[in-house]
Amino acid sequence: MKILRKTGLLLLLTAGSGAPLVQAASYYLYQLPDGSRVMSDRPIYKKGHQLIRKSGQVKGMGHLVAGAYQPRGSARRAQFKHFEPLIRELSKQHRVDLALIKAVIRTESDFNPNATSRKGASGLMQLMPQTAARYGVSDLYSPQQNLDAGIRYLRDLLNRYDNRLHLVLAAYNAGESAVKKYKGVPPYRETQRYVKKVMQYKTFYNRQ
């Protein structure tokens, strides 16, 4: 069998007949440990390359590489309404307060499923590749997988810190090792602002 590549398609020539069978090529998006991303038309088997999206077409992959778009105003509200049923379902399943989940998502990604940070955090709950791997996530930009893993992580942190939200949120933002090192909320301005912001949003969602 001969394999010819042409304009993003694989042409398979069956032996003897010469008749081509057209098969769509796949595109693979990988994230590296430093948060940078690379897209390839074939699998990459290298240490540190985390597969976060596979697609049969290149269209729609560019925004995942850049991760620049952030919804605002009506766009954010529309996305929130779209994901709310799933968020409610997972909230009940994992026994995590709905207002807390909404507050974390609002602070992390503003309800943008394609959000990407400079540090490599991705999706609605801005999961780092290590956290995603810990919870078996194969596609960081799948709302179902991202939300499920992020909410499970919150559940584990709530158990670990005996529901002390300031420690839970500090660990979610700065890491469990940082909370352990400082025996509380780390003295990082970003983390302290993060904890305060999430708590403010939680109060807002509790009133709705």
**Sequence spans of domains, the chain:** 2-66, 74-206
CATH of domain 74-206: 1.10.530.10
**How far is the C-alpha of 64 from the C-alpha of 194, rounded, in Å?**
25
Helices 74-94, 98-108: axis angle to 10 degrees equals: 140
108 is catalytic: yes
Backbone angles phi, psi at 68, to 5 degrees: -90, -25
pLDDT of res. 118: 78
Mean pLDDT of the chain: 81
Distances (CA, A) of 169 to 32, 33, 107, 118: 25, 23, 11, 20
User: What's the pLDDT at 22?
Assistant: 39
**Greatest extent of the chain over all pairs of C-alpha atoms, in Å:** 72
User: What's at 36, amino acid-wise?
Assistant: S
- pLDDT value of position 147: 98
Q: CA–CA distance from 126 to each of 38, 76, 106, 185 (Å)?
A: 19, 16, 11, 20
Q: What is the pLDDT along the chain (208 residues), one digit of tens a residue?
A: 333 333 343 333 344 444 444 344 587 877 665 555 677 788 888 877 777 677 777 666 655 554 434 445 555 567 778 899 999 999 999 999 999 999 999 999 999 898 888 788 999 999 999 999 999 999 999 999 999 999 999 999 999 999 999 999 999 999 999 999 999 999 999 999 999 999 999 999 999 8
Per the CB < 8 A criterion, the answer to whether 105 and 208 are in contact is: no
Residue 65, pLDDT score: 55
Q: Which of 84, 108, 176, 190 is catalytic?
A: 108
- pLDDT of 41: 80
Kindly report, residue by residue over 14-23, the tens digit of the pLDDT: 444 444 443 4
**Phi-psi bin for 133: left (phi > 0), alpha (psi -120 to 50), beta?**
alpha
**Cα distances (Å, whole numbers) of residue 198 to 51, 88, 163:** 30, 18, 15
